Structure 1
C-alpha cells in the first residue's frame, strides 16, 4: 500500500454500468489507490448515488465527486447531498466538485445560464456556507434561500470547481477550496494554474493551500507503442470537445489544434503528433507512468487521478498500475 502524501486516484467514467460501480471500486481500493473520483455527466450515472455505492462497497479509500453542474441542483440540495455522504462516511467523503456543466447538455434541459460566472459563484458560495452550518437567507439570480440551514452540517467538506476558462479560474481562486483540472492538462499547464492561483489568493489575503486535483488520460501496458496508440481516441474526443484552450496554449500548439480540427476530424486520433502524448496523457510502460505522475506532482498537483482508457481494460490496468506504478510514486 503506497503512502498517501502523493495521492493517486482512479476516475470512474460515466459509461461504467451502475452494476459494476461496487466491484470496480473494491478493486481500485484493493490495488492500493488512494482516491476514487466520479463525474456526473448528464444522462449517464449520478454523481451522488454512484459515490454512495462506491463508499458502501469499500472500507478506507476516499471518494470524491468531480463534478456536478451548478445548474442541475440547487445549492441547498447539493449541500444536503454532500453533507449526508460526509456524515455517513466521515473522513472518506470530503470533496465535492462543482462545474458550469457542458453547454450542450445544459441547453438540452433548458438550464444554460445567462452568466456562467454568476451561476458558479452563487452555487459554490451557497454550498460552502451551508455545509459549514450557516443559516442562509438571500435572493440570487439563480438560487434563492430563506432561512435555509442543514440539519447535519459537514464543515470538513471542500468545494472544488471544475473549470477551464481564465475568468472561471480567477473566480475559483477567490471562492473555492480547490480545482479539478481537466484531462489534456500537462505539467506546464498545472504549474501555470498553480502560479496564477497562488498569486490571486495572496493578493486577496486568502490561505495559500488550494487543492489541485489533476485528471489525466492514462493507458499503461507492457507494450509502450500499443499503450500510446490506445489513448489516441480519447485524446481526440476531448480535443474536439474543448478545442483550443490554455491547456494546449501553454505548449504553443493552439494554431495546430485549430488546423487539425478544421482539416479532418474523422482522422484526428491518428493526426495527433506523437510528442503531444508526452504531456497530454500518461501513456506507455509502467516506468513512463511513474515519470508522468511525478511530473504532475512536481508541477503542483495535490493529487493525480487517472482516467484509464480504453474502458474495457480498466480491471487489468488497475491491477498493473497498482503492482508496478504506485509503489514507485
Structure 2
C-alpha cells in the first residue's frame, strides 16, 4: 500500500431507483471516472444484475460489486455469474464478497453459525473456480463435487473481501486481492485496516493489496449539512470525519489524504438527498479527478 494516485470511483447507492442507473453509469464514464461501485443490500437491488447493465451501457469504466453476501449465494452460482460478466466485459469486472449484514441473513433464513468459516471456505472455492480449476470440497458450509466452470474468465478477476472485524480484515488480506473497507468509516478505522493487512501479509504483500475506501461526499449549497445528516443516518457522529463537503479542491485533497492512509481506490457516495445526482457524478470526474495527482 502506497500513496500513489488512487483510482477514483462513485457509488450507486441502492436507495436510488434502479431505473436511474443507466444515466448514472454513462455520466461516470463520460466524466472520466475510473470505477462504479454497486451494493447488493437486502432488500433493495441485485448487485450482479446492476453490474451487467452498467457494463453493457459503458465501454471503459470498471464496475465493482461491493459486496455480494455469501450466505445468500451458492458459490458455484456466484462463480458462474462473475465468470459470465468477465467473459462479456473483459478486464472491467471487480467482484466483492463478504458476510452480509447478519440481521438480514437471519431474515432470509441464511445466517451461518460461523460466518468466518463460511467466508473462508467460500473464498477458497470461488477463487479456484474463477481460476478454471476443478473443485471438490466437503466443508462445513461449502460442498462441491468435481465442479468446474465451462467458461472461466479469460483473465484473472480481482476478488475483494469486505468485513470490519479484525479476523475478516486479515482473511481478506490473506485470501483476497483487496479489502473493501466498511462504509461510513473514520481515519482510525482505515489505519486499523492498513495495520492489520501489514501484520497479516507483510510489506511486500500489502504493497500489492487493493484497499477500497468508501466516502460520503457533497458539494454546493448546504453540502456540509447534507453530509452531517447522512453520517447520522449511518448511526455515526457527524464530527468524526466520515464524510467530506466542499468544492473540487477540498474533495481532491481528501482523496490524496486517503491515499496516504492506504487507499488505492476511493469511491464517493452521494447523500441520500443529493439534489443533482448526475451533476454530482460529473463534478467528481470533471472537476475533482484532474486535481488529484498534484
Instruction: Give me the TM-score of the superposition, normalised by structure 1.
Output: 0.83
Task: Find the counterpart in structure 1 of residue 34 from structure 2.
Answer: 34
Among candidates 242, 249, 267, match of residue 305 of structure 1: 267
Matches within 5 A, 1:247-326: 272=237, 274=239, 276=240, 279-309=241-271, 310-326=273-289
Runs of 5+ consecutive residues of structure 2 not aligned to the other structure: none
Task: Find the counterpart in structure 1 of residue 87 from structure 2.
Answer: 87
SS at match of 1:239: coil
Structure 1 residue 193 displacement after superposition: 1.6
Query: Do structure 1's residue 233 and structure 2's residue 232 form an aligned pair?
Result: no
Contact 2:91–2:157 (8 Å) recurs in 1: no
Which stretch shifts more, 226-235 or 279-288? 279-288
Task: Find the counterpart in structure 2 of residue 186 from structure 1.
Answer: 186
Q: Deviations over 1:50-101 (max 9, x none)?
A: 00000000111111111010111111111110010011001111x2111111
Q: Deviations over 1:188-210 (max 9, x none)?
A: 4323322320221139x957411
Q: C-alpha root-mean-square deviation of aligned residues, in Å?
A: 1.9
Q: Deviations over 1:258-311 (max 9, x none)?
A: xxxxxxxxxxxxxx454x2xx211222222211111100111111100011134
Q: Deviations over 1:20-55 (max 9, x none)?
A: 211110011111111001110112111111000000
Paired residues, what number?
287
Query: Do structure 1's residue 66 and structure 2's residue 66 form an aligned pair?
Result: yes
SS at match of 1:293: helix
Contact 1:70–1:100 (8 Å) recurs in 2: yes
Contact 2:70–2:99 (8 Å) recurs in 1: yes
**Following the alignment from structure 2 to structure 1, what is the Cα–Cα distance between the partners of residues 276 and 245?**
14
Task: Find the counterpart in structure 2 of residue 202 from structure 1.
Answer: 202
Structure with greater contact order relative to length (CA < 8 Å, sep ≥ 6)? 2
**Following the alignment from structure 1 to structure 2, what is the Cα–Cα distance between the partners of residues 280 and 99?**
22
Q: Deviations over 1:112-164 (max 9, x none)?
A: 10001011111111110100011001112112100000011125112111100
Contact 1:213–1:301 (8 Å) recurs in 2: yes
Contact 1:99–1:163 (8 Å) recurs in 2: yes
Runs of 5+ consecutive residues of structure 1 not aligned to the other structure: 241-271
Structure 1 residue 232 displacement after superposition: 1.9
Query: Do structure 1's residue 9 and structure 2's residue 2 form an aligned pair?
Result: no
Q: Deviations over 1:190-246 (max 9, x none)?
A: 23322320221139x95741110111111122x4xx211101222112226xxxxxx
Contact 1:182–1:216 (8 Å) recurs in 2: no
In terms of Rg, which structure is larger? 1
**Following the alignment from structure 1 to structure 2, what is the Cα–Cα distance between the partners of residues 75 and 180?**
19
